[in-house]
A = this chain, B = another copy of it.
């Protein structure tokens, strides 16, 4: 299953709106928001309209009211329990990530690992033996998992998760997972994200603006 790009954009708009609110603004026009988010005003209006968020042409959008509506759209997220598989550095970092998986009440309830040393420890969450993961998922009706396991075991772990009933995976392993059509995978490849930054920063001097323009318009 593919990630809906308009859902991704909604979360970006939320970030922009929070920023505008912090700057003291009460209302924004779609072109203000579009400029900040790097999308067209028309796209903003289209996305908002799709999710039944309304403004008026003269006065734009009331920031507080749009934020409330966005929270309403994502309200079900708060009820979801999430597990982390692989309590290495990334897994442990995510179990107490600053911006707050927990602040938004996305509740990370457990971690799983195969390393006996890690299983004995409690980080921010209890860590269990991966052999009990299948049962834990079924018993607690877990639908979402964060995978931060070594590449070599990624597909095997993924299959266990899916068989146990997981519907959404945030995958930090730099491998493309095979999943059934009804399961969503969000691949977070931090190395590639860094490569993009380096490539763009380092090559920018030698690329003329027209070319950049042309490339970004894709």
Q: Is residue A77 within 8 Å, beta carbon to beta carbon, of the partner chain?
A: yes
Cβ–Cβ < 8 Å partners of A65 in chain B: none
Give the docked Cα–Cα distance between A143 and B197 (Å): 10
Closest chain-B Cβ to A63's Cβ sits at a distance in Å of: 15
For A, the interface residue count at a CB cutoff of 8 angstroms equals 73
Q: Is residue A210 within 8 Å, beta carbon to beta carbon, of the partner chain?
A: no
Partner of A199, one of B77, B82, B198: B77
Check A195/B106 contact, CB under 8 A, given A76-B203, A218-B6: yes
Q: Is the CB of A196 within 8 A of B186?
A: yes
Q: Is the CB of B194 within 8 A of A170?
A: yes
Residue interface bits A77-107, CB-to-B below 8 A is 1, else 0? 1001010000011101110111111001010
Q: Is the CB of A195 within 8 A of B74?
A: yes
Residue interface bits A152-180, CB-to-B below 8 A is 1, else 0? 00000000000000011110011110000
Chain B residue at minimal CB-CB distance from A14 = B192
Give A contacts to B, CB under 8 Å.
1-8, 11-12, 15-16, 19, 36, 38, 73-74, 76-77, 80, 82, 88-90, 92-94, 96-101, 104, 106, 143-144, 146, 150-151, 167-170, 173-176, 182-184, 186, 188-204, 212, 215-216, 218
